[in-house]
Structure 1
């Protein structure tokens, strides 16, 4: 631990998480930024081996030992550390050997990357959403105009046909034109802005749970894991039910269509988040809703495009449910994300909890 008071004061006030390890890779000092990042107490952790604070890979531990023995500095980018809480942290860290009075120690500076990676991902997602909206609106305009003409012509033709049986064909034209028009309208989504009121997010989840349980008829158990301390949030309750239901229904369909699934289940989870970033804005409080299933997972080639309209992993899917859900969440200034692998798929919805937040 640094004994010089000015140096200690400087390290204590750095925003960069900093640790000092002795030659055995045991903790001599960590500053408050490191305590916050790793969610541990520096005083209680003093003298503990580095792997008792967080774990990475055996290769990383070997690199730290080599840095001590050979006084060899190194930097690692986008490393994933597993904290004691089990939460993964994506970080860059730099290791600098310090040789003093015959002792070899390591100064480790840790820079979290989670927030930067999330901002980059959110910017790309928002850009994709805006591009998709423009594309869909342009395509809808080009489709709906000819459809209206086709429908009108079919109606006029039906009036002139002498044989009633022949009108069955014009009725098919009219019905198919209407079906395509409804599909285009669903692609466009609602132009109605959210009607925001203070609401309990668990009422939304319970409504979704009741609908999913009715649809599954007991074949897929639904588990609740709620944080009852979450305060009310400004939402359009009906729209939020639609967004969560679209995601949960996808999970249900994937589980029911999977032939290898032995014990399918869906989990609805809610958690409060502190100091959480959505886009470029950092929120003091946010709520996260997670829809988790243990189904076959989303194919890797679809994971980057699942929120696009008409993209679906199911042969009979329209690919509109997730696009509509994303649009609703975006109108609430929220964020929807997905992580998927075989046996574990998580859709996360994050919403700001501050009162009086501006919605568009």
Structure 2
């Protein structure tokens, strides 16, 4: 941590809270928290407790409807490729303002990838024949989240049986057959699923997409055997109309290193098997950084941004509808605008939250493409 200190996101979730607690031991931290009428009150309570526990400077930004997602304000930079964070530009600009001059900024983005590998681990247990151990942990995991373990277990067994190559092969065949029906959200870990975006493809779009998908998957299928999960591939990876990698990006390039002995990086230990159910939302975090306060690592819940995104879709629906209709994806005959607009209408009414992630990708892509088209026309 530089002498001037650094800024940090503090949403109140486990990842950002852990980063702030650890960074506070290394130097001055100015943490910023965004909240509005749609974000989690429990997250806000945890953020306040972390700030009090560490004695850091803490600024809370109370957002208004102008900061809701999907506003895409005039003058917002498009960048070299579409990224999911573009939909949050107004919110980021508002709450990050107090720390804009600091030399570095810490964020908990990406923490789930490192600290929540349980689902892919269970697929590995199943492929290794350790069925009873996997089932015991899956049941504990599902009950902790107040969900039925049956559908979750079924999805994991299917992922273990098919493997990566088999799952991608099945997705490619579905695209080729078409039309693709919207699928419900996957309740368990999956190598790949055809999300709602695949159902928005026209017949022409499916034929344009399916050879590419088949070309990527079939060589993998020919390798033989089952590919075991390593780390945690993206949950519910989607095959749909995407231009460029639509991956979430950290708002700032700086990371955080975990304090330890000089020259000896901390080793993350694998969590042991569940005993009478899981005791924490992220047991790997609890075991790998034991100095974190117990009241934090024993948290059994996670805030949701679904209500905020629904509100943003509802507020900006007319403009978003225009982005879809004028998109080169529609102009090129790849996407059925009526299908996307129907999904947008349902999501904005709160009738179908499962398509929000697919809409997020689609809307960012349409907005980004509109910017590229404007720049191209200006250049001509």
**What's the TM-score bracket when you normalise by the shorter of the two chains?**
under 0.3
TM-score by length of 1: 0.26
Greater relative contact order (Cα < 8 A, sep 6+): 2
Structure with a larger share of its residues in strand: 1
Structure with a larger share of its residues in helix: 2
TM-score by length of 2: 0.25
